[in-house]
Structure 1
Amino acid sequence: MAKGKDVRVRVILECTSCVRNNVNKKSTGISRYITQKNRHNTSSRLELKKFCPYCHRHTIHREIKK
């Protein structure tokens, strides 16, 4: 089967505020979510507002490279 031509791909979403605060070692980790997106409809990077257990609030999670 052709794996490179799948329409729906798995993406990893990472918390943006944990990445910035992790330099100062304030947070204990980085919040990550795994989801799917349609490659044809959403060609740009995905941004969703999700709950971060390390920040204890809803923050913007951006798509990262695998």
Structure 2
Amino acid sequence: MAASVRPILSYLFFIEFFVLTLAVNAGWMSKEQYLLVWNNEMQAIFAAVVSFWFGHRTFGRREQT
């Protein structure tokens, strides 16, 4: 169970980004509402999650060679 926490949170961040982008493009919410939810702090967290996964893969490859 403990090993699945990080992947689940990562998937939730991707789903949140997708749903918010879809909501703006479909006209379900305004750009101002989008920016209230998807602010600089959330963007930083999202960037950290993406960097963790892709950075982890890169360093994992270096250790194998």
TM over 0.5: no
Q: TM-score, normalised by structure 1?
A: 0.26
**Larger gyration radius, structure 1 or structure 2:** 2
* Structure with higher RCO (Cα < 8 A, 6+ apart): 1
Q: TM-score, normalised by structure 2?
A: 0.26
Q: Which has the higher strand share?
A: 1
